[in-house]
Structure 1
């Protein structure tokens, strides 16, 4: 009976432990789902969603900064997602920034090089306005820590309408001016001034058309600027120890021998220089003899 009681107690404890473990696993799964949902809601926004059945036109822009585990891998994943949803990258600047570098001599011919660096990337891309929210949500799995997220939706409906009305007015004014030039001809007091005005109207009309096309392009394709970075990384590498100049200096005996040779060369040079002055000495000697024999008497 005692053995049966101990066995039953052991089975009860085992079952209790399994139940706790299962409960912890379910809780972890639930927490992971909550974290994922929170990340999705944080990076996404109603400003990134294209409203249905609306005549309003929005220019959407987004600026996002977040930390990732590996900048290079996250960059490739983000670029693939952008291309998948019909977007394109206009700027990317992936680089490693060295924060600290040191060298430690570990043997006579080896040095341990230690580099501490951070990797970051600035990406600017454009995606169709209908795919902006989808693209942003697809990047949730790359985010390790979200620093900031700014999404703007500027309503440019009235600006587009204003440009179209201005374009219409300019076109009508240009037509009337050209018609006046064609019908009146030489009766115009200053035909050159009229032509210049017509050219100004045409230029103004072109500028309005280009402005509208630019706005429509910004409406159709949203612009996103993204800054990715990762934790500081340390890289260590053993490299060859290049000998210093001092290690190639000759020994003291060789230096003394070289000094003696150099001194002898200097002496040879002095003797050779003095020998070049033999004519001066000869003239001086002859002069001395003349002075002693004639001038002294």
Structure 2
């Protein structure tokens, strides 16, 4: 009988857990395709953003991916709204992806550079947690099309309780160490315990900050390509204009020829030892040849 009671209790707990999980999933993913009609009322922001449970503490984050009419203007508006709500921007990366660019010559001196591009921006902002729902509503008003929106509420109640227990343990350890005799081991243990205490305080500060401020990642882009027409100089005509100058090139050729003659003369002067040796060798060669010819004539 006791075993049967335990099984029924477990079955009930599992059933309630599954029901609770599905209910939570429905809250986060309430933005279904069937409900989407390109208009969301201000009070339709997920209950996750405004959820408050007695004796529970949640770290809330959100991620929004949507298409807007003008990325630059939307960025300015969102950043202004964040500041007005008491938050701040931690990251903003606005850039244009150039799809193609082509230059068209319109006259001998002018041309038109035509760029096709798409602008997008990735922002990360932090806003007071109690203002998260309002910020999401303001962001939603800027959309042309909402690709996705994810809202998370992480229950950190147990983590906070555990941090409190760890703090007490570290404090107790510090008291125990202080009662030990002054030795090298005591110094090392005290140092390690202090380092652990600092890390715990840093973790507590991080949790407290995340509880106070919610982090929202926002990705926005424009659905269609933009075209930029930029007036520039006709570089092709300029290149052709100065590509060849007959009189100037003839003058340079004459000067370079004169310099070439000078270089040849200087080169000949440089090799005078070789010329001297060659002259002496030629002289003795002619003299030897002349002596042989005279000797041959005498013998005849």
Report the TM-score, using the length of structure 2 for normalisation: 0.72
- 1:88 corresponds to: 88
Alignment partner, residue 211 of structure 2: 219
Report SS of the residue matched to 1:139: helix
1:131: Cα distance to partner? 0.5
Could you tell me whether the CA contact under 8 Å between 2:38 and 2:145 is conserved in 1? no
Alpha-carbon contact 1:96-1:119 (below 8 Å) kept:
yes
Deviation of the 1:77 alpha carbon: 0.7
* Distance change (3 Å), C-alpha of 1:247 and 1:202: closer
Q: 1:166 to 1:273 in 2, by over 3 A?
A: closer
In structure 2, the residue matched to 1:3 is: none
Following the alignment from structure 1 to structure 2, what is the Cα–Cα distance between the partners of residues 203 and 254?
79
Determine the structure 1 residue equivalent to 2:188.
196
Equivalences for 1:46-61 in 2 at 5 Å? 46-51=47-52, 54-61=54-61
Task: State the match for 2:153 in structure 1.
Answer: 153
Partner of 2:225: 232
70 and 175 in structure 1: CA distance in 2 versus 1, 3 angstrom threshold: same
Give the direction of change, closer, same or farther, for the CA distance of 1:264–1:223 in structure 2 (3 Å limit). closer
Matched residue, 2:121? 121
For residues 93 and 265 of structure 1, the distance between their equivalents in structure 2, rounded to whole angstroms, comes to: 59
Q: 1:93 to 1:273 in 2, by over 3 A?
A: closer
Q: CA deviation at 1:133?
A: 0.3
Cα distance in 1 for partners of 2:251, 2:198 equals 88
Cα 1:255–1:212 change in 2 (3 A) is closer
RMSD of aligned Cα (Å): 3.2
Which residue of structure 2 lines up, in the alignment, with residue 98 of structure 1? Answer: 98
Q: CA deviation at 1:37?
A: 5.2
CA 1:283–1:89 in structure 2 vs 1: closer, same or farther (change >3 Å)? same
Structure 1 equivalent of residue 234 of structure 2: 241
- Check conservation: 1:112, 1:237, Cα contact below 8 A: yes
Q: Which residue is equivalent to 1:68? A: 68
Segments of structure 2 that go 5 or more residues without pairing to the other structure are 1-35, 296-300
Determine if contact 1:50/1:130 at 8 Å carries over to the other structure.
no
Structure 1 stretches lacking a partner, 5+ long: 1-33
For the 8 Å contact 1:50–1:129, the answer to whether it is kept is no
Structure 1: how far apart are the matches of 2:108 and 2:135? 55
- Seen in structure 2, the aligned counterparts of structure 1 residues 62 and 273 have a Cα distance that, compared at 3 Å, is closer
